[in-house]
Copies of this chain bind each other. A is one copy, B any other.
Amino acid sequence: MSTQLQQAVKGIVTPELKEVAGKEGVDADWLRREVANGRVVIPKNINRQFPARGIGNGLSTKINANIGTSEAHCNFPEELEKMKISVDYGADAVMDLSTGGDLHQILKNILKESPVMIGTVPIYAVATRLMREGGKIEQIDPEALFGEIEDQAKAGVDFMTLHCGVTRTSVSFLENDERVCGIVSRGGAILKRWITLNDTENPLYEHYNRVLDICEQYDVTISLGDGIRPGCGADATDRGQVAELLIIGQLVDRARERGVQVIVEGPGHMPFDQIEMNMKLMKKICHDAPLYVLGPLTTDSAPGYDHITGAIGGTAAAVYGADFLCYVTPAEHLCLPDANDVKLGVIASRIAAQSADIVKNTGNARKRDYAISKARRDLDWEAIFLNAIDPETAKARKDASQSSTEDYCSMCGNLCAVKTDKGLELKK
């Protein structure tokens, strides 16, 4: 079997590529060239079947929802329900970040049930097992990590976050450039501690070819994790973050040379005015690799509302280069998200993606907005609900209002600008 990238390089238009081109309304041969040069990826493990989606240049912005059990709260049916909600509200991908219960069984079930691509962070499973056995982080066996990556690839995982850029070099740039929040990536914190206490190199970096071997075999897309991402606005764009980015850029090239699909993860927490510069820097350093961002959150002062903060930063990021937005829920920084948090997180990310796609003119974003705008002018409520990101909520609000049976809404009541402007008679 060859990867989507390898086939694109050979000039083959795969069924998956054709499917993506049709969905996005782009020319299949143009898309093939974008996949061949790595500006677009189509994450899909050779062992899974589901409708393919593309991520990258010229395509609509995609969004990911994180689900997963934790040690304190482990209820698989609940996580399955969260996955269904995510997909129903428009998530293009789901990451299983479980750390509680039988991790392999949970992943297996999720892979079986999911109609969208599935991502993981394999080091979580390794660290969880170690902690259950009472071990210390620095005792992680590199062989266990590679074993886990291989097991998950075989099981059908479509993309994996691997913090290969947390190296002795990148970590060294954290010295003498003090951070407020240190490291906030779980994978990054584990690997930095491992490197430091063992006085050795990150195995995912040192033995990157082993990673590539596995990912090539199953066409797993590598998501190069930003383990040194800023954990608060004040730490954004510091030397540690940029040093890791430089190494990630080198690893992008090596993945492409091996025919392995690769995307790059980005911050995190970031003041609004640094987002454009960061996206452009990341695209440049990583030779136009698809960018996958978490947030970025434009303020740290809104715990309980980080889906809003993430939508602000996510819109700006996607306008300036991000191709894939990881959702942030209202539970971020506070607790494990429940089903309602998942819904609100996905919707906020969809708003960000839609806002950016209007600018980029990708997918059907402009057509959708036009349809709803026209319906407002026509006071055509059914068309408004039909085109809304969350039709049920919009309809429920209107239906419950005092003007539920009127063509206008109860905000302006009879003194309706649309009716006045159209010269419609206003009732007494």
Interchain CA distance A422-B384 in the complex, whole Å: 51
**Minimum CB–CB distance for A72 against chain B, Å:** 4
Whether A333 is near chain B, meaning CB under 8 Å from some CB there, is yes
0/1 interface trace, chain A 399-410, chain B, CB 8 Å (1 if under)? 011110000011
Q: Mark A298-330, 1 if CB is under 8 A from B, else 0.
A: 111111110111011001100100000000001
Given A131-B426, A333-B376, A426-B137, decide whether A71 and B414 contact each other with a Cβ distance below 8 A. yes
Q: Which of B305, B337, B372 contacts A347 (CB 8 A)?
A: B305
Minimal beta-carbon separation of A229 from chain B (angstroms): 10
Residue in B273, B315, B410 whose beta carbon sits within 8 Å of that of A336 in the complex: B410
> Which residues of chain B are near A180, meaning CB under 8 Å?
370, 373-374, 377
The answer to whether B304 touches A388, judged by C-beta atoms less than 8 angstroms apart, is yes
Q: Is A169 an interface residue (CB 8 A)?
A: no
* In-complex Cβ contact of A312 among B127, B351, B417 (8 A): B351
Interface pick from A24-32, A246-254, A352-360: A352-360
Number of copies of this protein chain within its complex = 2
- Report the nearest B residue to A71, measured CB to CB: B413
**A385-428, CB < 8 A from B:** 385, 387-390, 393-394, 397-398, 400-403, 409-418, 420-423, 426, 428
What's the minimum C-beta distance from A166 to chain B, rounded to whole angstroms? 11
For A362, the chain B residues whose CB sits under 8 A away are none
Which residues in chain A, 218-270, are within 8 Å of chain B measured between CB atoms?
Answer: 231-235, 269
| CB atoms of A304 and B393 under 8 A apart | yes
State whether the Cβ of A73 lies closer than 8 Å to any Cβ in chain B: yes
Asked if A115 is at the interface of the complex by the 8 Å CB criterion, the answer is: no
Asked if A368 lies at the interface with its beta carbon under 8 angstroms from chain B, I say: yes
A186 with B400, Cβ < 8 A, contacts A309-B355, A358-B299, A373-B233 known: no
A331/B397 contact (C-beta < 8 A), A358-B299, A368-B301, A411-B336 known = yes
Q: Find A410's partner among B73, B410, B428 (CB 8 Å cutoff).
A: B73
B186 near A415: Cβ-Cβ < 8 Å? yes
Q: Does A76 contact B (CB under 8 A)?
A: no
Question: Which residues of the partner chain B approach A389 to less than 8 Å between Cβ atoms?
Answer: 301-302, 305
A217 at the interface (CB under 8 A from B): no
Q: Would you call B186 and A335 a contact (CB within 8 A)?
A: no
Q: How far is the CA of A414 from the CA of B131 in the complex (A)?
A: 9
Q: Which residues of B contact A409 (CB under 8 A)?
A: 333-335
- Is A192 located at the chain interface by the 8 A CB criterion? yes
Q: How far is the CA of A409 from the CA of B333 in the complex (A)?
A: 7
Q: Beyond A301-B368, A334-B394, A397-B331, is A373–B232 a contact (Cβ under 8 Å)?
A: yes
8 contacts between A and B (CB under 8 A): A72-B413, A73-B402, A188-B417, A301-B368, A302-B347, A302-B389, A309-B355, A334-B401
